[in-house]
Structure 1
């Protein structure tokens, strides 16, 4: 067996992987390699459990969250398996332990009154950019999906919006030079390619517009050229300041839509499909956290079924 360093294996793995994944996914892998894996393991020829465990604790102590560290290890394991498959290194099994003290942060959502306030304001103050925020609050679209939305994706006859693409700015590393690039991609996963019904107010808003707009233009700009997420995010922040609403991240609009669906007792499978989640577990973990009243009602129903 010809042993190679992780740096050498990673270089070959990158060339192989680039052929099979989206450009944005590849860019994310390269950043993880350059920022985390190669500085720690670049010259190593083996990856023992002890070495990986120390790396994990070091990254957690530096402020990274457990999910981020696990994402780094996923890439590291892919590189290692590629090296093993090609006979360049020996395989090592890891049983990594994580501290249990990390407190799960709750998601940030708009209050019902703030949710209504934004929708009411946009109905009275229509602009194409405001329309995007309205769509996010009533369909749960991600910011990249909103930026990538074209008029042709809005079906007036059936009253639906079809998510077909997303726009994102990704970090690239070419010849050790970092730069960014705006890319238009297919949706995040196959489940993210989805059809979402519009509520009556949204349908009434876009119906007259569809008669006069160019179907190939982007909704947010009503032009051939789209706006990028960073620019649109800044616009959203300014609007929230103008409305005197606590500034959530733009993704909080998606969380707010999902939370309102849960509060309305929509079934979880439907919510999961609307959000384009890969599986219902993601939806349950993010949004379904029963409060004490719900727990009491559940136990009450259980005893009622027993005839008590």
Structure 2
């Protein structure tokens, strides 16, 4: 039992607990501190030391303290707009408005804590988003919140303690060799503008945005190489104009995405023939004197794959198919990683672990044959 005004209590576990005012939160509510000792006398002695040595500061009124997440997010977007690529800015703008602001827009920055963040992560999972998407959204959220808390001089170290669920790499699906041959034959029979993008993906592993951004100056027929340094995307228009989106050519996805890919003899001949038959244009695939956007190339692809009865596949699987064929040919990991433009060989190992397992089985079978 405690004496009035002392704030000392005898706990059920036998210890004595002393409570003192440690400070105040940004909303003005009291923040308590606690001491624990085995006797009342010792607890009171330590508690008196804390009470006399600690002078709780009353926070000064500040307009920044009441900042909501949305108010700060808009400031943050304006600050980074000129420092990042347009495609990156458009991506940030979209994710904030689609996934983050609907939950946190009215929350004061200092009110957001670990519990509310873990509930948010759980909600993202319940919306059936992949772990890679959740990771991307959370990274952006943490970046905005951390800078906002720093702005109002509030501790943000708790953000480093929040751990996302482990990201399991999903099994990549690629075409079998027979499916690839069927698709390649059908693409070869189409007009080059429609079929050639499919062949380029199968023979180089290039992303669809990289294929759409290809210029003839990127293809060196003498050296037999393709230089990949750009990407083409349709992005949201932030300006108040009738067009909601527009085509934008930007630098490669990452510095590792800038790469040189040798051409197979088959692809080289297809491109040379297309070059000879076509007009002298800047872009390899054109539409209305500009680059042919990825969405149109995707439509061409789906029409071709339907003709050969390939269902439930998307254009990006052609990139996986290229990587799989390289690994089946026993190419070394660093080479495949460089051809794909991966940031590390570990990423290649993670994504294509199943294909590599087949390689390991083949190796063991060869060893067994050799030593038997």
Both structures adopt the same fold (TM-score exceeding 0.5) = yes
The structure, 1 or 2, with the larger RCO (C-alpha pairs under 8 Å, 6+ apart) is 1
TM-score, normalisation: structure 2: 0.73
Distance 2:363 2:301 in 1: 39
Larger Rg: 2
- Quickly say closer, same or farther: Cα 1:76–1:260, change in 2 above 3 A: same
Q: Does 1:135 find its partner at 2:230? A: no
Distance 1:273 1:258 in 2: 11
* 2:342 paired residue number: 277
Q: Which deviates the most, 268-277 or 292-301? A: 292-301
Whether the 8 Å contact between 1:150 and 1:215 is mirrored in structure 2 is: no
Whether the 8 Å contact between 1:277 and 1:283 is mirrored in structure 2 is: yes
RMSD: 2.9
The structure 2 residue matched to 1:58, chosen from 113, 120, 123, is 123
- Alpha-carbon displacement from aligned partner over 1:187-215 (angstroms, at most 9, x marks no partner): 11111111110011112222355456556
The structure 2 residue matched to 1:14, chosen from 57, 69, 77, is 77
Whether the 8 Å contact between 1:240 and 1:247 is mirrored in structure 2 is: no
TM-score, normalisation: structure 1: 0.87
Structure 2 runs not aligned, ≥5 long: 1-61
* 1:219 paired residue number: 284
Q: Which deviates the most, 139-148 or 286-295? A: 286-295
The alignment of Structure 1 onto Structure 2 pairs a total of residues equal to 303
Distance 2:358 2:318 in 1: 25
Q: Which deviates the most, 133-142 or 8-17? A: 8-17
Structure 1 runs not aligned, ≥5 long: none
* 1:96 paired residue number: 162
| Equivalent residues in 2 for 1:1-308, closer than 5 Å | 2-3=64-65, 4-44=67-107, 45-46=109-110, 47-87=112-152, 89-94=154-159, 95-98=161-164, 104-125=169-190, 127-173=192-238, 179-210=244-275, 216-221=281-286, 224-289=289-354, 290-291=356-357, 294-295=360-361, 297-298=363-364
Whether the 8 Å contact between 2:187 and 2:194 is mirrored in structure 1 is: no
Whether the 8 Å contact between 1:151 and 1:219 is mirrored in structure 2 is: yes
- Alpha-carbon displacement from aligned partner over 1:104-126 (angstroms, at most 9, x marks no partner): 53222111011122223444555
- Quickly say closer, same or farther: Cα 1:131–1:160, change in 2 above 3 A: same
Distance 1:287 1:243 in 2: 26
